[in-house]
Amino acid sequence: RHFLARIRERDGTYNSFITVCETQALADAEAADQRRAAGEARQWTGIPFAHKDLFCTRGIKTTCGSRMLENFVPPYDSTVAEKLRDAGAVCLGKTNMDEFAMGSSNENSYFGAVRNPWGENRVPGGSSGGSAAAVAARLAPIATGTDTGGSIRQPAAFCGLTGLKPTYGRISRYGMVAFASSLDQAGPIAQNAEDAALMMNVLAGFDPRDSTSIDRTVPDYTATLGEPLKGLRIGLPEEYFSDKLDSTMGDAITRAIAELEKLGATVKNIRLPHTDLAIPAYYVIAPAEASTNLSRFDGVRYGHRCDAPESLEDLYTRSRAEGFGPEVRRRILIGTYALSAGFFDAYYLKAQKVRNLIQQDYVKAFEEVDVIASPTAPSAAFPLGSKSKDPVTMYLEDLYTISVNLAGLPAISLPGGAIEGLPVGLQLVGDYFSEDKLLNVAHQFQ
Ligand code: GLN
């Protein structure tokens, strides 16, 4: 009730929600009160949260930030939604996002841009910008997000929060609207590492409905919070801490790492030699997968349908042209081109080979260190409109985050300081399934 009132009062400013589930949330709160009175409350009973509007929620609109799905009401729940509901959590609503999760500033949403609570003329980051702004403005205590190339970590960094992108396969993708299936992964956006760990306890685990989910024991992510950091080996990639790094950002991150050294960590310079190839490889692979995933939106089965089509071709063409925004159309065109006969080997196959090299860089690095540190993003939250004119400028935002998705590794962004009153994210990348370790480091740092 507290959070619903705050959303009503303040979200006019932030635009962080696309749908508020007022009636359902009040009914769920009532039911939670009764369970508590009956002595049946569990850890998550009555805990409010917000869902990125990419998770299918039965009976609740799931737009993915797109006109294409403006009126789409899924007939089923995603595994993530089902698990939170079964745990007793109360969904406050569905949060704003870049259309189909394509973007780094939340300016690509059909439902309008989101404002960053730390500076209302700044972007909250993207694509999970609504989830991050809602948690930062205390409109929700915690939210779900998804991360294909940084969309949990970069908004968490811009909004002063903790965001965890788990190992690929750790959380089921069933019922998530697909962007790039080999990169997409769900995770928590939270005020701190402990809350993120509590949400991971609910979300992680094998799901037979997602063939890429991994059957592996799920630890209690809260159990290791508080283990001493003594002996933790932190790697600093030379490629990241170069003269290309903005010096105020470099200073902030260096200070944060010095704090970790005080807690017993040691620091070592490492190399990730294929760093420069991550953005080009990602921006071939992600659009290629997106172009195939988005082919299902044809105006026939579900989603937007144009008025009075004259032929089948006209139905497809106009429904898609009207339903998709400019960035989504750009990605579909790039992806279709990269996959087309005659170009497949030169682009998609080449990008997959580069992806393998990037992954091998990490495998080598983790022989020497436990975690790899960097800024989460090249700068703090930038002003609304400052990068939206030029897609390549926007793509460069993802420098530190996307190679992690290409390799399928887990990574966390935690509040790592501030530049001129705006929060800065410290990113820590860990080896496969080291979410517990990343959460512990973030917990101690806070
Ligand atoms: N900014 C990246 C993109 O636009 C990553 C987005 C994401 O992680 N969903 O593709």
Question: How far is the centre of ligand 1, averaged over its atoms, from the C-alpha of 229 (Å)?
Answer: 32
Main-chain dihedrals φ then ψ at residue 164, nearest 5 degrees: -115, 125
Q: Report the distance separating Cα 442 and Cα 260, nearest Å.
A: 10
Is there a contact between 200 and 188 (Cβ–Cβ < 8 Å)?
yes
The verdict on the CB of residue 401 being under 6 Å from ligand 1 is: no
Average of per-residue pLDDT across 328-332: 98
Q: Whole-prediction pTM value?
A: 0.98
Residue 6 has pLDDT above 90, yes or no: yes
* First-residue to last-residue Cα distance in the chain: 29
Largest Cα–Cα distance in the chain? Answer: 70
Question: How far is the centre of ligand 1, averaged over its atoms, from the C-alpha of 259 (Å)?
Answer: 30
Q: Report the distance separating Cα 94 and Cα 7, nearest Å.
A: 12
Question: How far is the centre of ligand 1, averaged over its atoms, from the C-alpha of 31 (Å)?
Answer: 37
* SS3 state at 162: strand
Residue of 398, 403, 404, 413 to test ligand 1 pocket, by largest number of atoms within 8 Å of CB: 398
233-237/371-375 β-pairing: parallel
Nearest atom, ligand 1, residue 103 CA: 4
CB atoms < 10 A from the CB of 26, how many?
Answer: 13
Residue of 105, 106, 127, 394 to test ligand 1 pocket, by largest number of atoms within 8 Å of CB: 127
* SS3 state at 413: strand
Which residues, at least 6 apart from 57, have a Cβ–Cβ distance to it below 8 Å?
A: 51, 74, 77, 78, 81, 91, 94
Q: Report the distance separating Cα 359 and Cα 351, nearest Å.
A: 12
What is the reported pLDDT for 437? 98
Average of per-residue pLDDT across 15-44: 97
Instruction: Identify the helix (H) or strand (E) that includes residue 237.
Output: strand 233-237
Confirm whether 127 is a catalytic residue.
Answer: yes
The rounded mean pLDDT for the chain is 97
- The token pair at 439 is 């959460």
Task: Single out the catalytic residue among 78, 104, 109, 127.
Answer: 127
**Complex ipTM > 0.95:** yes
Nearest residue to 45 via CA among 57, 58, 60, 29: 29
Confirm whether 151 is a catalytic residue.
Answer: yes
Confirm whether 52 is a catalytic residue.
Answer: yes
Residue 33 has pLDDT above 90, yes or no: yes
Question: How far is the centre of ligand 1, averaged over its atoms, from the C-alpha of 104 (Å)?
Answer: 6
Nearest residue to 361 via CA among 277, 273, 236: 273
Nearest atom, ligand 1, residue 331 CA: 10
What residue owns the CA closest to ligand 1's atom 5? Answer: 149
* SS3 state at 351: helix
Residue 243 has pLDDT above 90, yes or no: no
What's the pLDDT tens digit per position in 150-203? 999 999 999 999 999 999 999 999 999 999 999 999 999 999 999 999 999 999
Residue 34 has pLDDT above 90, yes or no: yes
* SS3 state at 39: coil
What is the reported pLDDT for 141? 98
What's the pLDDT tens digit per position in 141-153? 999 999 999 999 9
Question: How far is the centre of ligand 1, averaged over its atoms, from the C-alpha of 134 (Å)?
Answer: 19
Task: Single out the catalytic residue among 16, 52, 109, 413.
Answer: 52
Report the CATH fold assignment for 2-203: Amidase signature (AS) enzymes (3.90.1300)
Angle at 249 between CA 243 and CA 254, to 5 degrees: 90
The verdict on the CB of residue 147 being under 6 Å from ligand 1 is: yes
Residue 317 pLDDT level (bands cut at 50, 70, 90): very high
Q: Report the distance separating Cα 429 and Cα 238, nearest Å.
A: 15
Residue 244 has pLDDT above 90, yes or no: no
Average of per-residue pLDDT across 291-320: 96
What is the reported pLDDT for 257? 97
Q: Where are the beta strands (DSSP E) in 265-376?
A: 266-270, 371-375
Nearest atom, ligand 1, residue 179 CA: 9
Question: How far is the centre of ligand 1, averaged over its atoms, from the C-alpha of 327 (Å)?
Answer: 11
Q: Report the distance separating Cα 401 and Cα 155, nearest Å.
A: 11
CB atoms < 10 A from the CB of 418, how many?
Answer: 13
Half-sphere exposure of 61 (CA within 13 A, CB side): 19
What is the reported pLDDT for 428? 98
Nearest atom, ligand 1, residue 151 CA: 8
Handedness of CA 203, 182, 110, 304 (dihedral sign): negative
Average of per-residue pLDDT across 104-125: 98
Residue of 54, 96, 98 to test ligand 1 pocket, by largest number of atoms within 8 Å of CB: 98
